[in-house]
Amino acid sequence: MILFLDTAFNETKIVLKKDEKLYKSIISEKKNISKEIIKSLNSILVNSQSSTKDISIIYFNNGPGNFTSLRVALSCVKALAFYLNVPIIKLNSFQILALSKKDFKDSYPIIVAIDAKMNEIYWQFYNDKNELFQENQNYRLSSINDFFLDLKKYNFKKHYIVKNDINFLPNYKKILPNVTEAIIENKKIDFNHLILEVEKHQDKLKCKIEDVNLLYIRDNIAEKKK
């Protein structure tokens, strides 16, 4: 049984996949994640007539996103994996957004854009689906102005942008007109498609507990500049 936990965005998503069936629980951003996460997990286990011992692997979004919620999730995931002696697959917000809909199956290149606040943007682009699971990728953090300048240099004839907030980058189509825009809200993620795609790469993505951490893009960029 697969447990998928994502606290990076506004809502926390907990998903169980058992016998090809999905069981989902969503925690509102208005609630205290540290108080609700175990309660919601227990509830979804009851609904699926399962126990924690049925979990064979844990999928975890390691960011970027809501820092406080990500830290809570990281502690929970590591504790569960240690107790159950199961592997973890750490995904990041870029991969999850790019794999969120079946519609994206052949829709490349894809730009994934995440609001980093302070007029900055986390972003990455993928030329094809194989790139989604390549190791040691150079995830980007730019000012929004630099982001558009960089994309213009690529001169894509056509591309797709995926973002999780309808209010983020509202003028994208005016600046870069050769685009199909996709807004992935939390409730519109196709978890079944997402998990199926990750399962295909599961063996090479498994991590030990000590190798699971959060994706600190700001810190990584600062370290490279030293």
Of the pLDDT bands very low, low, confident and very high (cuts 50, 70, 90), residue 201 is very high
- In the sheet where 110-117 sits, what is the strand order? 140-143, 120-126, 110-117, 159-163, 179-183
Provide the token pair at 225. 């500049």
Average pLDDT of the chain?
A: 90
CATH-assigned architecture of domain 2-92+187-225: 2-Layer Sandwich (3.30)
String of DSSP letters for the chain: -EEEEE-SSSSEEEEEEETTEEEEEEE-TTS-HHHHHHHHHHHHHHHTT--GGG--EEEEE--SS-HHHHHHHHHHHHHHHHHHT--EEEE-HHHHHHTS-GGGTT--SEEEEEEEETTEEEEEEESSGGGGG-SS---EEEEHHHHHHHHHHH--SSEEEEES-TTSSTTHHHHS-SEEEEE--GGG--HHHHHHHHHTTHHHHEE-GGG-----HHHHHHHHH-
Residue intervals in the chain for CATH 3.30.420.40: 2-92+187-225, 94-186
Of the pLDDT bands very low, low, confident and very high (cuts 50, 70, 90), residue 184 is low
The pTM of the full predicted model, rounded to 2 decimals, is 0.92
Say what percent of the chain tops pLDDT 90: 67
pLDDT at 222 (0 to 100): 44
CATH number of 94-186: 3.30.420.40
Could you tell me which of 112, 27, 67 has the C-alpha nearest to residue 218?
A: 67
pLDDT tens column, 23-58: 999 998 888 999 999 999 999 999 999 999 999 999
**Cβ-contact 14, 37 below 8 angstroms:** yes
